[in-house]
Amino acid sequence: MAKSSVIRMWITEKKSREITPEMSESMTDFLSIAAKYGCLGSTFAEDDERVIVYTRWFDEMVLEQFRSSNVYQIQEGKIIQSFAAAGFEIPDDILFNSTGKILSSSEFATFSNQKDIQGSTKINPITAVALGYVPLVIFLMFIASMGSSNFAGYYLFIYSGMGLVILFPIYTIYLALLTWHLHKNGALTPIVSTVHILSFIIPLLYLLMFVTFSGSVA
């Protein structure tokens, strides 16, 4: 049985209170991050009596994965804080909060599958370079070993290892700062976290192999 897309609705009583720039900013940030987790469309609206937010998702499992994430908790906290600062009383002012199955809709474009949703996550270029450094060196060592020089691969190993001795500490600091920045802004998705971990572990293992290497060219 095919999974059904779902809509998540959140309606809050407005009374005489106004939407502040801080409320708009926190909600916009939340909806932007939701898109990275599979949200297919969203709306933040108001009328004279209510604040209305709804999002559409590939299926309920995708929605619940986002709602159970640390990113969701962080962004939800920012929204509640901005609403409270504007005089709203959360959760007392919430009129309606529910998830519904979409029976028919042509309003939004849809992803064909979950793989397309996950593919929307962007990876930092420097992190991608760090992740590909060791595989590239190994590939070049293999190519060099097929040449006329018997020691080309050995020299490539030595020089790449020496370069990593200098670059790896710098990258470690950069990666820590980048990871903290993404976490602070609620943009550290599971895919990005995995790439960050691999981009650290793979060069580290290569560096350990280099510093413990006791061979020689002779």
Confidence of residue 153 (pLDDT cuts 50, 70, 90): confident
How many Å is the Cα radius of gyration of the chain?
25
Task: State mean pLDDT over 133-144.
Answer: 88
Q: Report the amino acid identity of residue 117.
A: I
Task: Give the residue carrying structure tokens 């001795």.
Answer: 165
Residue 106 scores a pLDDT above 70: no
Residue 116 scores a pLDDT above 50: no
Task: Give the residue carrying structure tokens 């559409």.
Answer: 56
Task: State mean pLDDT over 133-149.
Answer: 84
Task: Count CB neighbours of 178 within 10 A.
Answer: 17
87: left (phi over 0), alpha (psi -120 to 50) or beta: left
User: Which pLDDT value is given to residue 96?
Assistant: 87
**Dist. CA 56–CA 110, nearest whole Å:** 10
Residue 129 scores a pLDDT above 50: yes
Q: DSSP letter at 107? A: S
Task: State mean pLDDT over 8-21.
Answer: 90
User: Which pLDDT value is given to residue 200?
Assistant: 95
**Dist. CA 172–CA 142, nearest whole Å:** 27
User: Which pLDDT value is given to residue 112?
Assistant: 46
Least confident stretch, 55-69, 114-128, 189-203: 114-128
For residues 141 and 43, the answer to whether their CB atoms sit within 8 Å is no
**Dist. CA 6–CA 103, nearest whole Å:** 9
User: Which pLDDT value is given to residue 2?
Assistant: 54
Q: What is the pTM of this model?
A: 0.48
pLDDT tens sequence across 15-26:
888 999 999 999
> Distances in Å between the alpha carbon of 4 and those of 35, 57, 77, 106, 110?
18, 9, 29, 14, 12
Every domain of the chain and the residues it spans: 6-118, 125-211
93 SS3 class: coil
**Dist. CA 132–CA 171, nearest whole Å:** 13
Tell which CATH classification among 3.30.365.10, 3.30.70.100, 3.40.50.11540, 3.20.20.60 matches the domain 6-118. Answer: 3.30.70.100
19 SS3 class: coil
Among candidate residues 57, 54, 25, the one with its CA nearest the CA of residue 42: 54
pLDDT tens sequence across 39-54:
988 999 998 899 999 8
